[in-house]
Structure 1
Amino acid sequence: MKRLFLLSYGIILITFFIAMIAMDQFELFSTDEIEEISFGNDISATAGLLTKIAELKGQAQAEHSFKKFTEKMHLTLDTYETTSSEISAVIRSHLLERNFFIEDAEENIAYFTFGDKQKIYRIASDMSSPFMQQISDKEWLTLIEICTALAIITFIVLFFLARRLRRLEKTYIAFADGDFTARASTKMFHNVGKLNQTFNIMADRISQLISSNRNLTNAVAHEFRTPIFRIQCNLDMLDDSKVRPDQMPHLEGIQSDLNELNSMVEELLHFSKLERLDTSLALEPTDIGNLLEKQLNHLQFETEAKLTLDVRDNCIAPVSVRALQRALGNVIRNGYKYANSEVRISLQASPEELHITIENDGPNIPVKDRVTIFDPFVRLDRSRDRQSGGHGLGLAITKQIIKQHKGRIYISDSNMGGACFNIKLPL
């Protein structure tokens, strides 16, 4: 948001200065024509007055009066003979037509004659005079004041707009992080157009869809328990009765499928529980290195792959032991199912967080799948579903547990060649 504020502020100021330069270069909204007419009227009146003075008191007196006039008006006065080569033919033709020629109305530069018309007089603003210097300084000061006022007004407007956007951004982030009760304020001084109301409408619809989906998933998982229990009872009764030997493989297959279905229901119910907003974990200070060591000793019996632990720092972190063990167990089991020979677990700590990496020497996970792999029921290799017994919920459960610890989990490349799961938990 800060970057957006500075970018918008800079663009507005740059656009303003470009517009000012463009208007000056292309003379948009220019008053030069009006200034030239006004200046021409002044010159014509002055020339007429000086001619009257020349008729009454002579040309010399008229020139003397004109000199004093130019001094008072902070103008420079140059006198040329009518045959002077410094006077162009264009200027001479204008002087013959109307006794004056305006070269630049803005700088007060003009040529004219009066009286006996034996000389040509050129006047221009005396930019070296203290008065004109003061006017020039005030013009620059006025321009600076206008730019400063624009900058302050723009800053104030963007500041209050940024505050509204920042407040709305926090609501967006809270909603994206799973707080589906988050809504944007619709107060007068909090609204950003109709964006707040539109967001709330969208959030209501999404919340209803997610709530319906969760309720359906939870209800289906619960309802599955009853038929599973009945099938299990029937299998137990069949097991006690006389069953032909050729029927036993079929019964064992049913039992295996039933166990898998029961496991999936248990994971589904656990996942639904973790997704509930009112679910909180009881955290207690725990030696993470010791916890990992005990868990690896237990998991080593499940696989032939070598499980190694590298504890670089001793750290005590507030965690839910059972929940974290389940999360780590899911990732480690996922690692040795794909590992060729080794799974390496490393633990290190910084002043703010602890970092657990779980990597293996098996195949890597494509970059495009490194986010979706944590979604429920997502499995990258469907051909191994039956053999691995996976239901696509293990990593989704892990993500929810890490999220409830205010941590994060992501996948990167491993030096061992396979995938590297990174878990970061706040200390």
Structure 2
Amino acid sequence: MNRIFFRFFVLVMLSITAATFVIYFAFSRLFGDPLDDIARSQAAAQIFLLEQYVDKAPSDEWLTRLNNVRVVSDVRYDLVTLAEARAALGSSSGTALDRGEIVLDPARRTLFRRVDLSGERYIGSHEEVLRAENLPIDIGQALKMEALRYVIVAIALLLPIALWSRSHWQGLQALSRVADEFGSGKLGARARMKPSEAVYPLAERINHMADRIEDLLEAQKSLLHSVSHELRTPIARLEFALELLDARAKDPDLSRRIGAMEGDLRELNALVNELLDMSKLDSARNLQAAPAPVAPVLRECTEMLPPSPHQLDCVLAEDLGELELDRRLLARAVCNLLRNAQKYATGRILLAATRNPHAVEITVDDDGPGIPEDEREKVFEPFYRLDRSRDRATGGFGLGLSIARKAVALHGGTVRAEASRLGGARFVITLPV
């Protein structure tokens, strides 16, 4: 948000600067250089003497009056050739000089004026130019005046823009905080603004959107929770009926079929439990965080795993320290990753953890077939499986990784899939310190 207003401020400043140059060049083109006008007013006394005293002298007194002016003035007057004057001036000023006009050079505090256009004052006077140097021209003061004028204009523009931007910035900051809270799971977060505020219409639309999203999520969660609970009753009845039927069955083939149905019921019951667990992870209210050491939690995860023929190595750094976490949820996430590794590993599983100044990183590696790069994000979607032909062999419903990601997200962390150095898949949990 700060970047937006910084860019806006820079854009305004650049626009004002560009407008300053455009105004200056436009006025110079249409009405003459403002600095030339200021310099002309500062040298008004010398110009007056030249035009009203020296120029109006008879031909035989012109040089006498010029010498009189030289005596009483601090300005240095001398005669130079027309070619020398043209060389000292540019082409545009040279044209004005040829017309007999007074040409000022404010930077060098000098003016030029042809003595005569027709050569009537003295022989060769049409080829000479009167040059006055050391004029009382202070171009620095003129520049300061111009700069001050544009600074005042810039301030007059920036003050209302700053006040207008500040109100928008505060409103957008408030909306940004609401969006962050809503995205972190606080579905009741809303923007509270007065109707007079500039971003009030946007805040109202965001609130309506949040209301709709909250209603949809609550309806989905309620439906999932209700259906899962309602399924438990017929499942329990079927289990009881199958047990009674199995006790009375004498046919081995019938007993085998009943055993298969009981396996299906256990699988369905496990699915219901998984769905209920997922519905509980949709809100940060279910997080019971407290300071806890990370290493013992990870070691407990290795002890909670079912027996497996694969070798499980646990390499934990000594400086893992403590984190603000829910031990049960974090253990559930890590255990799900370890169970997933048990399903697909061929011989070895590695659980490791390290800590840096910003985060604790927990990795689970296996030497199985790995995960294709284009599917490493999809495996965290509910019910997604890479190889459906092995569903029966490996078990599960495609919910374990999704549950792990939700549990880690409640801690403010992330889970990602990578290629493992063991040749299989690697899952990386990053928890902020």
> What's the TM-score, normalizing by structure 2?
0.76
The equivalent residue for 1:30 is 27
8 Å CA contact 1:185–1:191 kept in 2: the answer is no
Identity score, percent: 26
The equivalent residue for 1:54 is 57
Matched, 1:208 2:226: no
Listed as ranges, the matches of 1:301-312 within 5 Å are 301=307, 303-312=308-317
Matched, 1:238 2:240: no
Work out which of the residue numbers 388, 399, 421 in structure 2 matches 1:415. 421
8 Å CA contact 1:221–1:269 kept in 2: the answer is yes
Root-mean-square deviation (CA), in Å?
4.5
Deviation for aligned residue 1:387: 2.8
Identify unmatched segments of 5+ residues in structure 1. none
Work out which of the residue numbers 63, 66, 80 in structure 1 matches 2:66. 63
**1 CA distance for matches of 2:224 and 2:382?**
12
- Specify whether residues 347 and 164 from structure 1 end up closer, same or farther in structure 2 by C-alpha distance, changes over 3 A only: same
8 Å CA contact 2:112–2:132 kept in 1: the answer is no
Query: Structure 2 counterpart of 1:305, which letter?
Result: H
SS at match of 1:101: coil
Deviation for aligned residue 1:409: 2.7
Query: Structure 1 counterpart of 2:224, which letter?
Result: T
Q: Which moved more, 1:328-337 or 1:383-392?
A: 383-392
The equivalent residue for 1:295 is 301
8 Å CA contact 2:55–2:62 kept in 1: the answer is no
The equivalent residue for 1:401 is 407
8 Å CA contact 1:306–1:341 kept in 2: the answer is yes
Work out which of the residue numbers 384, 388, 397 in structure 2 matches 1:382. 388
Query: Structure 1 counterpart of 2:311, which letter?
Result: K
Query: Structure 1 counterpart of 2:275, which letter?
Result: L
Work out which of the residue numbers 179, 182, 188 in structure 1 matches 2:189. 182
**1 CA distance for matches of 2:33 and 2:136?**
25
SS at match of 1:328: helix
- Specify whether residues 92 and 367 from structure 1 end up closer, same or farther in structure 2 by C-alpha distance, changes over 3 A only: closer
**2 CA distance for matches of 1:421 and 1:92?**
81
Deviation for aligned residue 1:5: 4.5
- Specify whether residues 54 and 333 from structure 1 end up closer, same or farther in structure 2 by C-alpha distance, changes over 3 A only: same
8 Å CA contact 2:115–2:130 kept in 1: the answer is no
**2 CA distance for matches of 1:239 and 1:92?**
119
**1 CA distance for matches of 2:79 and 2:102?**
16
Deviation for aligned residue 1:239: 1.6
String of CA shifts for 1:333-355, please: whole Å, max 9, x gaps: 01121212111011334466533
- Specify whether residues 191 and 268 from structure 1 end up closer, same or farther in structure 2 by C-alpha distance, changes over 3 A only: farther
8 Å CA contact 1:353–1:425 kept in 2: the answer is yes
Query: Structure 2 counterpart of 1:175, which letter?
Result: F
**1 CA distance for matches of 2:171 and 2:130?**
59
Q: Which moved more, 1:194-203 or 1:151-160?
A: 151-160
Query: Structure 2 counterpart of 1:30, which letter?
Result: F
SS at match of 2:312: strand
8 Å CA contact 2:186–2:283 kept in 1: the answer is no
Listed as ranges, the matches of 1:241-390 within 5 Å are 241-242=248-249, 244-281=251-288, 283=290, 285=292, 287-299=293-305, 301=307, 303-313=308-318, 315-350=321-356, 353-390=359-396
Identify unmatched segments of 5+ residues in structure 2. none
Q: Which moved more, 1:163-172 or 1:254-263?
A: 163-172
**1 CA distance for matches of 2:175 and 2:153?**
31
**1 CA distance for matches of 2:315 and 2:414?**
21
**1 CA distance for matches of 2:373 and 2:234?**
41
8 Å CA contact 2:412–2:432 kept in 1: the answer is yes
The equivalent residue for 1:168 is 175
Deviation for aligned residue 1:237: 3.0
- Specify whether residues 295 and 205 from structure 1 end up closer, same or farther in structure 2 by C-alpha distance, changes over 3 A only: closer
Query: Structure 2 counterpart of 1:34, which letter?
Result: F
**2 CA distance for matches of 1:389 and 1:92?**
97
**1 CA distance for matches of 2:338 and 2:65?**
108
- Specify whether residues 251 and 122 from structure 1 end up closer, same or farther in structure 2 by C-alpha distance, changes over 3 A only: farther
Deviation for aligned residue 1:255: 2.0
Deviation for aligned residue 1:151: 10
Query: Structure 1 counterpart of 2:335, which letter?
Result: G
> What's the TM-score, normalizing by structure 1?
0.77
Query: Structure 2 counterpart of 1:49, which letter?
Result: Q
- Specify whether residues 319 and 200 from structure 1 end up closer, same or farther in structure 2 by C-alpha distance, changes over 3 A only: closer
Deviation for aligned residue 1:191: 4.3
Listed as ranges, the matches of 1:90-169 within 5 Å are 100-101=100-101, 111-113=113-115, 117-118=121-122, 119=125, 131-136=137-142, 138-139=144-145, 142=148, 145=151, 149=155, 153=159, 161-169=168-176
SS at match of 1:228: helix
Residue-pair matches, total: 414
- Specify whether residues 364 and 2 from structure 1 end up closer, same or farther in structure 2 by C-alpha distance, changes over 3 A only: farther
The equivalent residue for 2:79 is 79
Q: Which moved more, 1:396-405 or 1:174-183?
A: 396-405
**2 CA distance for matches of 1:102 and 1:92?**
11
**2 CA distance for matches of 1:275 and 1:307?**
32
**1 CA distance for matches of 2:30 and 2:327?**
85
8 Å CA contact 2:104–2:112 kept in 1: the answer is yes
String of CA shifts for 1:153-205, please: whole Å, max 9, x gaps: 57776566544433322222222222222223423686447433332232222
**2 CA distance for matches of 1:80 and 1:320?**
95
